[in-house]
């Protein structure tokens, strides 16, 4: 470990990257203060180093001062660049918010296209504002614009919006996208303007089309995502399943892909000598980075591969940790926003864990005796080596997961329990496909030969997806990391892993015991909270655009009640709120009403989320069609009649028949949720619109945002909404949106949430 710390270039570059990640969302004042502190440390370290040159012969002290100065220099550079990019430059862009200007540029991606409207990523080349040019923005415009199109027109610029749960603003900024824009007048020019990015997109689209032509839409989409990072045809089910199993890295373009592809190229060029192999690998790496859009993780791997090859060609040895630091340093120096790329952060942590793990094991490998090497030969030796490699792969996966635990907690708040088993197996299958898919591309001009290989590849991909789907339907394959002190424990576990990796011999046992004790103690701590969670019924209002919903948690089961008309949107909002009840799965989905136009949304919800039961109002053919749809996705479709009582854990849910009022395109929903002798009544609109179906003794009554578009025409003159023991008068059509009440606990009187004073005053 001491040798790792005393690598000055590694210290500078890694410090620069890590501090850039931390400072991404920090206040400008903090960056200035940090810059002053690290400047003083740098001056002091350099002065101390010069003093030691004259007065001391202690080499280790001199090296320590050298590395301290490099650390301070890296931190100082990070503070300066962070301030210039994240504060000064971003403020200049955001000064345009609210302005309407003429723009021209290329559409580089289609985020979503709903026909009538769509969301695009636009690389703006020119604006009519001379001060700001050459930036990327999120463009909201009419649907139908293809990726690669060159457009001109008038847009209204805006600041990227903050959001709860998944931080959209942070995500877009990490991709170098600095503004959003709403189209007012747009013209798509015939013949897109040729740029390097448009050429790369064209090549990637062509290769993706070859996979789809030979393997079909679903298998071809899988192959395209695996090999090219193109997710246009990747099904929602595959993304969901791989996410639940903790093996998203197999599909996400990363260093593993580049390593396998370089090995493939080396084998192809093996007859032409080492120099040709090296040059060929560098060329392929650059081309691969080009067509995959220079995404963070693969660019990191590409730079490392090029450094290793280039250093070996001049006859020098290479240092892995220094190469890792240089790669992330160059990426962040070229594009400061890349430091916030979650994929790059996870990739950096994973590779660092691998290097730390293997750094102390190399001497063991080198010291193997001849008889041990002979035992590795033959069939039994190969079988033994395979078993050992699988065991070591599982152990290394555990090391990587525990090392990345702070990031898993910070970004995802959940952890897959079976990833130590699934990751090594699916990685091997991914390697096989990464070897075979380039062969398919080479054979594609010869359909006869390509069809034979495509049949085998299609079968293998379908098998992989089937196994992943079966495993993802297992209950509780992931656990929540949303318990108290989870962040602190995650950091302590990561430190314990580092200690385990750098210690040798019997000292490792001490680290292992401490790590297991820490995890065991925290697991018991979480179990206590889990038991408390099971004893209460908890209701969290969820909202997606104009749609309301409820997340009900009772006895460890979670159900979503959709009281709006945007099923997939409410499901997405519910998934964000699952962390609040420390759960990772949705047991049931309650549909309060049916409409033919929304069946596709139900299907999308089933594709993106494991839902085991769907409660459907019994209203004829449409209900039966939804039951059949549920069967296709492994969910149980259950018909209920309005007024029936359905139980989720110890909570009872009763939905009254929905009403459609004249001139209204939205239904009025009335439902009652009861647990532990207490009742909550939710009304999609006002008391009158709900037909007066409210129990007189109900303790809680919420008026939601959902209901008729013309609510003012139907409200009564005076209404009462109850929040806790407080009754509030509402006159002249005013009502309480459900989103104004944070959450409600049934059965826990001391934890009831009521409206605060400002909300009471209206």
∠ at Cα 552 (551, 558), nearest 5°?
A: 95
pLDDT of residue 730: 37
Give the pLDDT mean for 73-90. 92
pLDDT of residue 13: 93
- Using alpha carbons only, how large is the chain's radius of gyration in Å? 29
SS (H, E, C) 6-60: CCHHHHHHHHHHHHHHHHCCCCHHHHHHHHHHHHHHHHHHHHHHHHHHHHCCCHH
Sign of the torsion formed by the C-alpha atoms of 135, 141, 143 and 145: negative
How many CB atoms are located within 10 Å of the residue 316 CB?
9
> In this predicted model, what pLDDT tens digit does every residue of 505-518 receive, in sequence order?
666 677 667 767 77
∠ at Cα 384 (379, 389), nearest 5°?
A: 125
Report d(CA 169, CA 177) in Å as an integer.
Answer: 9
Report d(CA 350, CA 324) in Å as an integer.
Answer: 11
554 versus 387: the higher-pLDDT residue is 554
User: Among 10-14, 88-92, 505-509, which is the least confidently predicted range?
Assistant: 505-509
Which residues contact residue 530 at a Cβ distance below 8 angstroms, ignoring those fewer than 6 apart?
556, 582
Q: Are 599 and 494 in contact (CB under 8 A)?
A: no
Q: Are 258 and 302 in contact (CB under 8 A)?
A: yes
pLDDT of residue 714: 38
Give the DSSP letter of residue 193.
P
> In this predicted model, what pLDDT tens digit does every residue of 44-57 receive, in sequence order?
988 887 777 766 66
Give the pLDDT mean for 632-652. 88
Strands 700-703 and 678-683: parallel
Which residues contact residue 572 at a Cβ distance below 8 angstroms, ignoring those fewer than 6 apart?
544, 608
pLDDT of residue 67: 86
Report d(CA 549, CA 655) in Å as an integer.
Answer: 13
Q: Is the pLDDT of residue 180 over 50?
A: yes
pLDDT of residue 727: 35
Give the pLDDT mean for 139-166. 84
Q: Is the pLDDT of residue 465 over 50?
A: yes
pLDDT of residue 6: 55
Report d(CA 722, CA 678) in Å as an integer.
Answer: 13
492 versus 712: the higher-pLDDT residue is 492
User: Among 66-80, 382-396, 683-697, which is the least confidently predicted range?
Assistant: 683-697
pLDDT of residue 709: 44
Give the pLDDT mean for 33-60. 83
Structure tokens belonging to residue 34: 């940090």
Q: Are 341 and 296 in contact (CB under 8 A)?
A: yes
Tokens 């007024």 found at: 643
The architecture in CATH of the region 535-760 reads 4-Layer Sandwich (3.60)
Report d(CA 49, CA 68) in Å as an integer.
Answer: 10
Q: Are 256 and 249 in contact (CB under 8 A)?
A: yes
Tokens 């990747």 found at: 234
Confidence grade of residue 725 (pLDDT, cut at 50, 70, 90):
very low
540 versus 58: the higher-pLDDT residue is 540
DSSP codes joined into one string, 335-360: -GGGGG-HHHHHHHHHHHHHHHHHHT
Q: Is the pLDDT of residue 412 over 90?
A: no
402 versus 116: the higher-pLDDT residue is 402
Closest-CA residue to 281 (of 294, 264, 256): 264
Report which secondary-structure segment, H or E, holds 655: strand 651-655
Q: Is the pLDDT of residue 688 over 60?
A: no
Report d(CA 138, CA 160) in Å as an integer.
Answer: 8
Closest-CA residue to 613 (of 582, 653, 565, 569): 653
Confidence grade of residue 131 (pLDDT, cut at 50, 70, 90):
low
Q: Is the pLDDT of residue 224 over 60?
A: yes
pLDDT of residue 564: 66
User: Among 65-79, 144-158, 569-583, which is the least confidently predicted range?
Assistant: 569-583
> In this predicted model, what pLDDT tens digit does every residue of 541-552 receive, in sequence order?
777 666 678 888
Q: Span 96-193: which CATH code? A: 2.40.50
pLDDT of residue 348: 93
Tokens 């309301």 found at: 548
pLDDT of residue 745: 54
What is the average pLDDT score of the chain?
79
Q: What are phi and psi of 136, to 5 degrees?
A: -110, 145
Give the pLDDT mean for 565-593. 81
Burial (CB count <10 Å: 0-12, 13-18, 19+), residue 208: buried
End-to-end CA, the chain? 61
Helices vs strands, H then E, count in the chain = 27, 21
Within 417-536, strands assigned E span 478-480
Confidence grade of residue 713 (pLDDT, cut at 50, 70, 90):
very low
Q: Is the pLDDT of residue 26 over 70?
A: yes
User: Among 356-360, 410-414, 428-432, 756-760, which is the least confidently predicted range?
Assistant: 756-760
Domain boundaries, the chain: 2-93, 96-193, 202-479, 486-532, 535-760
132: left (phi over 0), alpha (psi -120 to 50) or beta: beta
Report which secondary-structure segment, H or E, holds 104: strand 100-113
Which residues contact residue 102 at a Cβ distance below 8 angstroms, ignoring those fewer than 6 apart?
127, 128, 152, 153, 154
Q: Is the pLDDT of residue 660 over 80?
A: no
User: Among 316-325, 369-378, 545-554, 677-686, which is the least confidently predicted range?
Assistant: 369-378
pLDDT of residue 292: 84
Give the pLDDT mean for 306-323. 82
Report d(CA 732, CA 686) in Å as an integer.
Answer: 12
pLDDT of residue 500: 78
- DSSP 3-state of 216: coil
Report d(CA 601, CA 562) in Å as an integer.
Answer: 12
Beta bridge partner(s), residue 102: 154
Q: Is the pLDDT of residue 747 over 70?
A: no
Give the pLDDT mean for 660-666. 56
Which residues contact residue 37 at a Cβ distance below 8 angstroms, ignoring those fewer than 6 apart?
none
Structure tokens belonging to residue 31: 């960056």
Percent of the chain with pLDDT over 70: 79
Structure tokens belonging to residue 169: 């603003």
∠ at Cα 16 (278, 87), nearest 5°?
A: 120
Confidence grade of residue 79 (pLDDT, cut at 50, 70, 90):
very high
Give the pLDDT mean for 4-26. 86
Closest-CA residue to 413 (of 238, 578, 169): 578
Report d(CA 113, CA 121) in Å as an integer.
Answer: 12
Q: Are 559 and 648 in contact (CB under 8 A)?
A: yes
> In this predicted model, what pLDDT tens digit does every residue of 439-448 receive, in sequence order?
898 888 888 8
Q: Is the pLDDT of residue 333 over 80?
A: yes
User: Among 85-94, 199-208, 218-227, 497-506, which is the least confidently predicted range?
Assistant: 497-506
Beta bridge partner(s), residue 718: 731
Give the pLDDT mean for 27-41. 92
Give the pLDDT mean for 401-409. 88
Closest-CA residue to 464 (of 258, 237, 261, 633): 237
Q: Are 10 and 325 in contact (CB under 8 A)?
A: yes
> In this predicted model, what pLDDT tens digit does every residue of 260-294 receive, in sequence order?
888 888 888 877 888 888 888 889 889 888 888 88
User: Among 170-174, 340-344, 367-371, 555-559, which is the least confidently predicted range?
Assistant: 367-371
């Amino acid at each position: 470990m001491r040798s790792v710390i005393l690598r000055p270039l590694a210290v500078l570059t890694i410090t620069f990257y890590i501090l850039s990640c931390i400072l991404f969302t920090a206040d400008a004042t903090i960056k200035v203060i940090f810059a002053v502190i690290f400047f003083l440390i740098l001056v002091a370290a350099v002065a101390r180093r010069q003093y030691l040159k004259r007065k001391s012969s202690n080499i280790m002290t001199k090296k320590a001062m050298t590395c301290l100065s490099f650390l301070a220099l890296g931190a100082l550079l990070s503070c300066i660049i962070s301030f210039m990019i994240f504060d000064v430059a971003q403020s200049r862009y955001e000064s345009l918010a609210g302005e309407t200007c003429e723009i021209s540029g290329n559409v580089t991606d289609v985020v979503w296209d709903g026909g009538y409207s769509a969301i695009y990523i636009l690389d703006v080349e020119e604006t009519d504002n001379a001060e700001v040019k050459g930036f990327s923005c999120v463009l909201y415009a009419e649907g139908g614009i293809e990726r690669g199109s060159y457009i001109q027109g008038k847009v209204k610029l805006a600041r990227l919006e903050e959001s709860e749960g998944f931080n959209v603003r942070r995500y877009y900024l990490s991709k170098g996208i600095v503004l959003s824009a709403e189209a007012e007048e747009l013209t798509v020019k015939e013949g897109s303007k040729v740029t390097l990015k448009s050429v790369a997109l064209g090549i990637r689209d062509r290769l993706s089309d070859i996979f789809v032509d030979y393997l079909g839409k679903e298998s071809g989409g899988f192959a395209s995502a695996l090999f090219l990072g193109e997710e246009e045809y990747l099904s929602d089910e595959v993304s969901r399943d791989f996410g639940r199993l903790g093996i998203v890295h197999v599909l996400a373009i990363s260093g593993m892909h580049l390593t396998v592809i370089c090995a493939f190229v080396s084998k192809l060029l093996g007859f032409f000598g080492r120099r040709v192999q090296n040059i060929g690998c560098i060329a392929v790496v650059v081309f691969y980075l080009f067509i995959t859009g220079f995404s963070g993780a693969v660019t990191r791997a590409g730079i490392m591969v090029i450094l290793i090859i280039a250093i070996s060609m001049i006859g020098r040895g290479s240092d892995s940790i220094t190469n890792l630091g240089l790669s992330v340093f160059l990426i962040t120096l070229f594009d400061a926003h890349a430091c916030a790329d979650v994929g790059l952060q996870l990739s950096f942590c994973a590779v660092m864990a691998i290097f730390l793990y293997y750094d102390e094991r190399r001497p063991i490998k080198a010291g193997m005796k001849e008889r041990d090497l002979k035992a590795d030969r033959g069939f039994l030796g190969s079988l033994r080596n395979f078993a050992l490699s699988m065991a070591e792969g599982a152990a290394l996966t555990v090391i990587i997961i525990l090392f990345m635990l702070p990031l898993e907690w910070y970004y995802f708040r959940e952890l897959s329990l079976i990833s130590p088993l699934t990751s090594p197996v699916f990685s091997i299958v991914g390697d096989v496909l990464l070897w075979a898919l380039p062969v398919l591309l080479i054979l594609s001009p010869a359909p006869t030969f390509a069809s034979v290989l495509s049949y085998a590849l299609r079968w293998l991909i379908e098998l992989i997806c089937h196994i992943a789907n079966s495993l993802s339907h297992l209950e509780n394959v992931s656990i929540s990391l949303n318990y108290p002190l989870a962040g602190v424990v995650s950091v302590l576990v990561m430190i314990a892993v580092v200690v385990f990796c750098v210690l040798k011999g019997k000292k490792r046992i001490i680290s292992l015991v401490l790590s297991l004790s820490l995890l065991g103690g925290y697991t018991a701590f979480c179990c206590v909270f889990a038991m408390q969670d099971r004893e209460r019924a908890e209701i969290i209002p969820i909202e997606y655009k104009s749609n309301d919903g409820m997340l009900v948690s009772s006895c460890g089961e979670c159900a979503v009640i959709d009281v709006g008309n945007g099923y997939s949107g409410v499901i997405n909002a519910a998934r964000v709120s699952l962390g609040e009840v420390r759960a990772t799965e949705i047991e049931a989905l309650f549909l309060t009403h049916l409409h033919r136009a929304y069946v596709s949304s139900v299907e999308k919800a089933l594709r993106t989320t494991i839902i085991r039961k769907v409660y459907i109002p019994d209203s004829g053919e449409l209900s039966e069609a939804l039951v059949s749809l549920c069967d296709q996705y492994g969910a149980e479709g259950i018909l209920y009649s309005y007024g029936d009582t359905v139980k989720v854990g110890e909570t009872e849910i009763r939905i009254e028949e929905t009403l459609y009022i004249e001139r209204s395109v939205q239904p009025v929903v009335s439902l009652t949720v009861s647990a532990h002798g207490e009742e909550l009544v939710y009304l999609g609109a006002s008391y009158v619109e709900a037909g007066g179906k409210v129990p007189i003794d109900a303790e809680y009554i919420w008026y939601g945002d959902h209901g008729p578009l013309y609510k003012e025409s139907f409200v009564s003159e005076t209404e009462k909404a109850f929040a806790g023991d407080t009754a509030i008068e509402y006159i002249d059509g005013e009502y309480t949106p459900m989103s104004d009440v944070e959450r409600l606990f049934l059965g826990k009187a001391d934890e009831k949430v009521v409206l605060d004073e400002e909300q009471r005053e209206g």
